[in-house]
Amino acid sequence: MWLEQEQLEVETVSCVDENGNALKEGISVSDEELAEMYSWMVKARVFDVRAMKLQRQGRIGTYAPLQGQEAAQIGSAYAMRKNDWVYPSYREIGVSLQKGLPMERLFLYTMGHLEGLKQQQANVFPVQIIIGAQCLHAVGGAWASQYQEEDSVSVTYIGDGGTSEGDFHEALNFAGVYKLPIVFVVQNNQWAISVPIDKQMASKTIAQKALAYGIAGVRVDGNDAVAMYETTKEAIEKAKAGTPVLLEAVTFRQGPHTTADDPTKYRLPEEETHWGAKDPLMRMKKYMTGLGIWDDERDRELFERAESEVTAAFNVAESTERSGLNDVFENIYAEKTPQLAEQQRQAKGAVRQ
């Protein structure tokens, strides 16, 4: 009669272990796809490391690093189709890059440049800083796609801490009721800033929350790019058929929450060592090396190309003329409302004074 948590067992999907060994037969990812996914993961890692250094130098603003979450991001993004939409939080650098957003735009965003917010060209909505709000936006986009009978799925990303926000639960409820074409990807990186996952929720997993909203749920090893790709691909097919999906990617944030945070104040070195052995890039490299399709020389060349690309993108961003106050009014509506036009007129007058 009573529903008890002990009755529920949620398995974690994994295809490749931390030593690079395949855990099942019939992995559907080709050698070319593996190499391409890994190249995106490397690109995201190199961008991330450089951005951290640039912020410390005062050349960009506050930055939210993704190191350790490359497989969760690239594996899921690689499974999307060109016409699918992404609704990101502030940490989805890897997703945005893989979906085709120019790297210089990501740097411009970190500099506070308005051009950095123009992301729809890659079917990526602007970064959402309000925790959980992107879930509501994604539901709205999915509902519009359903209403217009478009062949597209909305995919939104949120952290484990964001699942405590009301917006997250409202979005899941709405998606379940209307059977929307949407996938919620929760990157469970173990920490909501300084709050550990066991203080964030009482349920054993995030994936099981799907049951309360009448949608499909799945838990995936978020450091396994192959598992993320295969599972997200299935999730998109389910969403297209009218079953929303909640996908929990179990991973670890290797760096600080943002550059304004110091994880040494709340995280033990033993935890970082434990998760460091599960590093997603190291795992993917070991797997491909075992297949005979990768080696140290190719790896070195890939990192060098990524470094050059990141340098070139930052140089473009740094040489771009900065946004001015007047530019703010040009990036809100396609056609200005009378009130906005009046505000712009007043702002111009204030600047001249």
Both 219 and 336 in a single domain?
Answer: no
CATH code, 154: 3.40.50.970
Instruction: Report which DSSP code applies to 187.
Output: E
HEC readout, 33-75: HHHHHHHHHHHHHHHHHHHHHHHHCCCCCCCCCCCCCHHHHHH
pLDDT at 332 over 90: no
Instruction: Please give the biggest Cα pair distance in the chain.
Output: 73
Strand partners of residue 83: none
Q: Is 299 exposed, middle or buried (0-12, 13-18, 19+ CB in 10 A)?
A: middle
Both 140 and 96 in a single domain?
Answer: yes
Both 88 and 27 in a single domain?
Answer: yes
What average pLDDT score do residues 248-269 get?
A: 97
pLDDT at 303 over 90: yes
Both 105 and 206 in a single domain?
Answer: yes
Both 311 and 331 in a single domain?
Answer: no
Residue positions annotated with a catalytic role:
253, 257, 266
pLDDT at 331 over 80: no
The two tokens of residue 286 are 């070991």
Both 310 and 342 in a single domain?
Answer: no
What digits encode the pLDDT tens for the residues 75-126? Answer: 999 999 999 999 999 999 999 999 999 999 999 999 988 877 765 668 999 9
Both 341 and 250 in a single domain?
Answer: no
What digits encode the pLDDT tens for the residues 209-242? Answer: 999 999 999 999 999 999 999 999 999 999 999 9
What digits encode the pLDDT tens for the residues 132-184? Answer: 999 999 999 999 999 999 999 999 999 999 999 999 999 999 999 999 999 99
pTM of the model: 0.94
The two tokens of residue 307 are 């470094």
For the chain, the domain total comes to: 2
Q: Which domain holds residue 341?
A: 325-353
Give residue 330's pLDDT.
Answer: 83
Both 287 and 344 in a single domain?
Answer: no
